[in-house]
Chain A
Amino acid sequence: MNRSIQNLLSITLVLLLSCTPSFAQRGGGSARTSVNRGNVNRNANVNSNRNVNANINKNYNANVNRNVNVNVQHDVDVHGGYYGGGCCYHPVATAAAVTATAMVTAAVIGSMVNTLPPSCTVVMVNGLTYQQCGSTWYQPQFVGTSTTYVVVAAPR
Chain B
Amino acid sequence: MHKRWFCFILTMGSSLSLAAQSTPAPMNADRDPDAIAALNKMGSYLRTLGAFQVQSTQTKDDVLENGQAIQSAGVVDVLAVRPNRLRAEITSDDKHQLLFYDGKNFTIFGQLVNYYATVPAPSTIGELIDKLDQKYGIEMPLVDLFIWSTPQSDAEKQITSAIDVGPSSVDGTSCEQYAFRQEGLDWQIWIQLGDYPLPRKLILTTTTDDARPRFSQVLRWNLAPSFNDAAFTFDPPDGARKITIAEVTASYQGEPKTGSSK
Contacts and interface: CB of A to CB of B under 8 A. Distances in A.
A110 to B, nearest CB: 6
Interface string A120-156: 0010100111000000000111111101101010010
Interface string B231-262: 00000000001111110101011111010000
A109 interface: yes
B243 A128 contact: yes
A53 B72 contact: yes
A87 B113 CA distance: 12
A144 B138 contact: yes
A47 interface: yes
A35 B250 contact: no
B139 A26 contact: no
Contacts of B242: 127-129
Nearest to B71: A31
B152 interface: yes
Interface residues of B, number: 65
Contact-residue size bin, chain A (C-beta under 8 Å from the other chain) = 35 or more
Given A144-B138, A145-B97, A148-B246, A34 B143 contact: yes
A141 B246 contact: yes
Contacts of B113: 140, 147
A91 B154 CA distance: 36
A25 B65 CA distance: 4
A135 B206 CA distance: 44
Contact of A90 (B64, B93, B254, B258): B93
A35 B244 contact: no
B117 A55 contact: no
Contact of A147 (B62, B65, B115, B143): B115
A25 B68 contact: yes
Contacts of A5: none
A1 to B, nearest CB: 35
A140 B250 contact: no
Contacts of A32: 184-185, 204, 206, 215
A36 B60 contact: no
A35 B72 contact: no
Given A36-B143, A142-B243, A27 B65 contact: yes
Given A142-B117, A145-B90, A110 B63 contact: no
Interface string A13-43: 0000000001011111111111111101001
Contacts of A46: 137, 246, 248, 250, 252
A112 interface: yes
Smallest CB-CB A-B distances: 9 pairs:
A28-B63, A31-B213, A43-B137, A25-B64, A31-B215, A36-B153, A150-B256, A27-B65, A56-B62
Given A28-B62, A50-B94, A141-B245, 14 more contacts: A30-B62, A34-B144, A35-B185, A36-B153, A36-B154, A38-B154, A52-B94, A52-B97, A53-B90, A53-B92, A112-B252, A129-B242, A145-B138, A147-B110
10 contacts: A29-B62, A31-B61, A31-B206, A32-B184, A40-B139, A51-B94, A139-B244, A141-B243, A141-B246, A144-B137
